[in-house]
Structure formats: structure tokens, C-alpha cells
Chains A and B, each alone.
Chain A
Amino acid sequence: MSEKTKNLLEEKTIYRLIPCQAYDAEAMESWLSALAAQGLFLQKDGIFLGVASFYKALAMPVLRYRLDVAEDKKRLSGSTTPTEEILEMYAEMGWEYVCAWNHFHIYRAGSPAAPELNTDPRVQAQSIKWLQTTVAWGMLTPILIFCINGYGILRAPLLAFVELGTGFSLVALLLLLWLAAECAGALHRIAVLRRTLAQGLPMNHHKDWKKHWLLYNGVRAAMWVVAILWFYALFSNFAEDATKRNQIPLTEYTGTLPFLTAEALVPGAEVHYKNMYPGWENSVSIRRELFAPQVIHYEAFADLILPGGEKLEAVIETEYYEMATLWLAKWMAHDCTATASRHRQHDDFPQEYDKTLSYPIVYHYIWPTVLMRKGRSVIKCQLRVERPPQNAYGEYEDWFVLTNTDWVDLVWQSLPD
């Protein structure tokens, strides 16, 4: 039915959710043909994000919709849009192109005299083979990109889970599982279709599309909600980072922190916080996550005036995780170590600090960094204490006033038992 000759009953567009799973070509053909019998005809380019738009015209019970694999068989156009040559040849045989859906082109024929679009299932199976390869690569590519870019997440999943936030991570995990299930389902459907066609059996143009539509649309609606939640969590994370909403300036914080702080570094010393660079905050942020009742980020840059009048400059940047169980704490320590292991210059300390794992370790990432676990507490602490410039060139003498062993002792003693 061409756009010029259609007998419009209503000008308004009617929308319907597509009730078929991705790549279920048989169900899609059956559904579109059934709607045509009710007088609903798919509009040109009328499919977007799982919603199809229709116009209402005189019902045509014999109108057939058929799907053809969107393979550029002759590699003429370099795209998956049907070429003018195809459009003309198909039209000559009674088939009108409507729109694309999931690597398929949708055609329709109003004349019973028009031959079927595909008359040889074994030939059609060859096109489905192309589809199978294309879809498999299309699904594999994001997985590969994720594996390369998300290497840090795969290497230290619990650390990533806690750092990204429980809500965000759970929703992301749910979405990933759903996508994986969708991909596996789509590939399975294509494989089954290819096997059927390769046996010489034609596609079932009258498949019962109603069978699973409620379940399918229910799951899809739920996933849209989850996807919206994910975006909300993503933007909340960004907003939190941008506004530093959770950060409390150290000068205002009155609580006790369960690890080494600038105030506790040298007993009796005066602490004068200062800015390392514009935008630097001497602050602490405390939050609670599902697996970690306490996650604390702490950063301090200060002059320490010792009782004797000597002045030292100190920097402490700490990430502290109090995990829900000992097992989770060991896992977290493992993840932190995995992340730290890329810094080559590190020293393992004797196991006297932790009988089960070779913590703490100290490595040099800009400054010495102590990483250790004590019970359910895991801490990563970047530390520096030095004397201000002593000579005319502004060079630092006694670059590190404390040794790595000093740091380890100080941090270890500050942690709760």
C-alpha cells in the first residue's frame, strides 16, 4: 500500500509498543500483519526505541509484512539502508519498503499475486548467517571495550563497588546482567532461525506473538525504570563530586576519626591548615555503603608547629574502609593491593602486622603510601612530612622526615583493634 493510495480513516498517529523480542522476525511479521488486518499500518520509518507508529486506514486482511535481513549483499552502499536498486527490484515484484528494525528491513505487499519475499529458506539461511556474525560482533565489541576500559573495575570489583556507591553499582550490575541476557537471547533466537531455514523449512509467518508479550513488555518496562534510576544515580554521583556536598571542612569537624590525622601526628604540635593549590579542601567525607558501614575520605595539608618552635609541613590523604565482615575486609585489602601493584616501587613489610596477608605495603605514588588491613579496617594513606626549604634555592632538605617503617607504625597504632 503506497502512501499516496492509502485510504486514510484518521490522520492521527497511533503508537504501539512492539510486543516481540529483538530479532524475533517471525513474531514481528505476524504482529504487523495482524494489525494491518485491523486497519493499522506501520508508518514509514515508524519504529523508534521499541515503539512503532501506525496510521489508520481501511483494513487489509491480505496485507503481508515480511522482514529481510538488512545485509548490503553487494556492498554497494556501505550502509544498511536498502539501495535504490533493491527498492526498485522489490517494488517491481510487489514489495514496498517501510522501515528498518534490528538489522532487518521491513517490507509489505498488498497484492496476493506478489511472490513471497524469500522463497528459498536455504538461501535465506545464508543471510541469517551474516546477521548472526554481525550481531555477535556488535555485542562483543562493547564487552571488549568494557574489558579494556573497565580493567580497573574487573581487577578490583569490591573497591569499585564501594567507591562508585552501592545504589549506582547495584543498578549498573542489574543493567549489565539484563543486557547480557538480552544479547544471549537474541543470539539464540537468530541461531534457531538459521537452523530452521538451513533445514529447508520456511519462516513461520503466523507465529503467536501474544504468547510472551506481557512478560517481555513487563521486563522491558522494569528495565527502563532501572535505566532511569541508573542515570539518576550517575548524575547524583557527578553532582556530589562537583558540589562536594558530603565534604566537611576539618576546621568544622568535631568527631573522632579512627585513623592517623594531622592533629594526632605530633602530640602537642599546633596545626595550621592551608591550601596546597586553589580548590584544595582540608576536609573529611563520611558515608555508609552496603558492604562498608563506614567509608571515610580524608585530606589534610598543614603546617605543624612543634613545641620547640620547629616547623614541619605535612600532607595526609586517606581512604578508610570499615568493612561489614572480616572476609569483606580481606577482599577489600586484596583489591586495594591489586590497584597498588602497578606502582613498581613498593616495599612489602614483614607479616607481623597481619598474619593472614602480607600487609601493610608501602609504595611510592607521588608520596609514600601505606596500605594495610587491621581486622575489619582497610586503609590507604598517602603521607608526607618534610621540613620547609632551608637553603637559598628553595630546595627541600630532609625530604622525608619519617621513614616508611615510622609511617607503618604510626598508621597501624592509630587503627581500631
Chain B
Amino acid sequence: MANRVAIVGIGLTNFKSKRADVNMAEMVNEAVRDALADAQLSIKDVETVISANLEHLEATYLPDQYMADESGAFMKSGLRLSTGGTSGGSAVVEGFSFVASGLADIAMVIGFEKQDTVDSTGAITTTCTPLWGEGLSSGAISEFAKQALTYMQRTGAKEEHPAMVRLKADRGACRNPKAHLKLGLKSIDEILKSGYLVWPIRLLDFCPQSCGACVLIYASEEKAKKITNKPVWIADLVTVHQEPFRAGIFDDITGKEVLCEDIAAEKLYKRNGITNPRRDICLAELYERHNGDRRRISGKLLRRGNSHQRHRGHACRARGGGGAADSRRRRRSPGDPGREDGCSHGLGRSQLDNNDTPEKVFVGGKMMAQDAKPELIHLTYSVPRPYRWSSGKYMGKTFREAKDHKKIVTNRCPKCRELLWPPAGVCGRCKVEAGEEWVEVSDKGTVLQFTYLVMPMWNPHTGERWANPYPIASILLDGGLYILHFLEERDPKKLKDGMRVQAVWREQTIGRGAQGVSDILYYRTIQEASK
């Protein structure tokens, strides 16, 4: 059994859209000093330093190395995590693991992101394989739009519902001195009047791009009791992995998948004897990048319990840690609202997330910040990174059939008999070798769900604005294959769920497969007598 682990110190920077006065290392240092002061420890007491961020979003590499002095990692053990939007949450787990295992008595974890460096939304469009998803992953927002749509379709939730959550979150942010956005919203009308970024996600539904860092200090039971008389014990942790993009869809529109958060909650509740989450959990920090999802998760986990949720609006890699940090801060501060109902269990969550607003959009050009005094130096650079992605033989078969015969083929799992998409050597569900039972699927299908971009986007693969001017849809092809592709119809009024569509192939195929920027341009609306 693991040793008991407590959080004994937390540190946060202020969260802002731009921090020209510090570089990344100096920004991290602010949070490290804040945490050490909070725990009343010296950096000498810390044995292990774990840092987490998604360096790709900052066009830098190995930031843990060049900030070793400022992070306090110099001559200490530790590691860096880069697990996408879950980096902050992964660091929380990793720091716990170091102390729970006895490898360290005091460990520090750092989550940070300096999102004034690169247009994060543009960068996130590249976090999928260009072989299979170029153009479809139009930043995080459209992906989350699909999740929100799924939730709305499933539950009948309306756009007013996330707006209500947003209003509540803003009230929390206004009481948080470190928060980035403090809007002082008065009614949900203000939220519903803000324009769409990606339908149905509105500007005020989404969090901003922020610069900031969060630090947690963990201690073993023995040390924790010496450091503070109010340690916050970590009762349990769980991570559940899911790769929804593989399926070409972003949520459970198939009705076949169990959501990872459901699995995680079930495990946690069972292990900790929580039979009535609404009663047993009095504080939940749910780090969701938009309010639709926040509501979804809170509904799932708490059945609309008496949770306190706040919208901090901060750097995404700092975010998982932020959840845990807020749980700690509120649980041990007697005057804090989080204490009002005698909180005994806190809940934190991190997921693939992001903070995007279109406040900074630029296309392949140079952007130079102008600062008055004191003069601050910026280095503006662009280092194109060429890639050579190999499809491998399974995806290659699909590429070949699309290129030579304009056919959609994929392979089938011999065990569960599901069609794999993209075709693969292994069935992720059954963990068995998939083999080469190839199936041709019709290029006609039914739209299950669609979304369209309103905000301007650009494609870092090409430098072109409007990475995908076409609506993106989840389509169930006749033959039972769920895919994600573009729709030719660009008039939102003419888009509807259930519409019948057929693939429009490139006249001259280019060998890019059958999803995203590929040998299929888009799907065209078709009229059929009956189907």
C-alpha cells in the first residue's frame, strides 16, 4: 500500500494574457517562490522537481532543462511531463507517486504555460496526425464543440445551460485575485449575446489564452505533520485514458463507448466508499475549457451537487494542478467560501483542454509586441519543422484504395467485429491483433452531428487562413463506419442532423487517404427517395 501523501504548499502566479516582463523560467520561479513561502520551506528541502507543459505550444524544447535554476531543480531528481492538455494533471499524479512510493519525502510539481509565445489555437490544430486529421482538428474549440453537441443531443440541454454555469464561474473568478478574466457578468444574456467561436461554443463560453504557473509541494506523512497542522491529504487518484480522435469522433455519439470520466468516477467512488457523490463531495474543481463540458462533467460526477466551481481562466498546463491547488486552499482556509459546508472531500479533474480566444491570430507572419518602458526584448522567430509521416501498412492500404480506386476500405477486429478507423494493426478495445480482414464501406452516409467555425482559423501546415472553411461532421457511413469529414454545404441553415451525404472525391487523387485533408474533398448533400 502506498504511503500517505499530503499537499503542504501551493504557489500560483497571476494569470494574464501577456507577460513580457518575464521569460518562461522567471514566470515559473514566481510560482515556485510562492509555494515555498506557503509551505514555509526552503528549496533545499525539496528533493524532486517535476514540471509539466506542452512545449509545442511555445515553440521551445526541453524547457525543464533551461529553467532548472529558476525551478529549483538544479542538482535534484525529477522529470518533465508533456501529456497534452492533461500535463498539469499528470504532474499532480506523478508528484504523488514519488512521495507515495517513498522515492522522495518532499516533491514539487510545476505546471506552466506561457501562451503569449505562440498562437495556441493554431498550434493545437497540429496535435493530431496530419495523415488522418489535418483540417479536422481546427484547434481545441471545434473539438469541444462536438462534445458539447453530443451532450446537448443526449440530454436536451440548451445553450442557456452553459451560460448559467459561466455566470457562476465568473462570480468565482471575481473573488479570485489570481484569475485572468474577471468580467463581473450580471446575467446570462451577456453570455448569450457573445458571438460564436465554433457553433455552439460562444466567446464567453471559452477560457482565454493565459500565461501562468502553478506549483504544488507534496510531503510524506511524517514530513507533512512537521510542516503544517493543516495538511491536505490526497485520498485517491485515478487516470483513465481514451483516444477518441482515433474513432474520428469526439464523444460517445455511437452510444457504444463508456466515457472515461464515468469510469474514473466509478473507480474512485467505489474505492473510497462514496455512495452519494452529491452528499459526500462538497467541493469539485472541474477543469474544463468550456462551460458545456463543465456542466456535463459536474452533472455526471455530482448530479448537480453543492459544488463550488470557479472559472479561473489560466494556462492549460497549469490547470490540472490548479484544481488540486484550489481544493487545498479552500479546504484549509477557514474564512473561505469553500469551507462553508464543512468540506471533507475535494475533487479535481484535468482533461485535454485549452484556453483559446481569437485575441491573437496571425498567419505565418511576424508579430512584434510593442512595449514602452522599460524596453523589453522579444525574439520573434519561426522555425518550420519538416515532417515525413509514414502511414504504415494498415493505413497505407486505405490510402492505396482511395488513391487508385476511390474506395473507402478499412479492417475489422476479428474479436469484437467492429470496423477500425483508421485501420490499425491492433484493436484498442480488445487488445488483439486486428489482421487483414478488409471491408469496403459505402461512401454514402448520414450526418450524425456537425459544427462549423465562426472564428478565423489558420493551418500551420500551410500557413493559410481558414484551415477548414467547410463544416465538420460526424458521419455514419452505410456499412456502419463512423467517420469525421467536411461538408460541402456551408449554409448553417441548410445543415441538419440526419441529412444524407455522399463523398466527393478529388478528380486527381493525391494519396492522402479518406479522412480530413484527403482524397475525399468533402461530403455533398444528396436527396434520396427513401432511406
Decide whether A and B are members of one complex.
Answer: no
CB within 8 Å of A: which residues of B? none
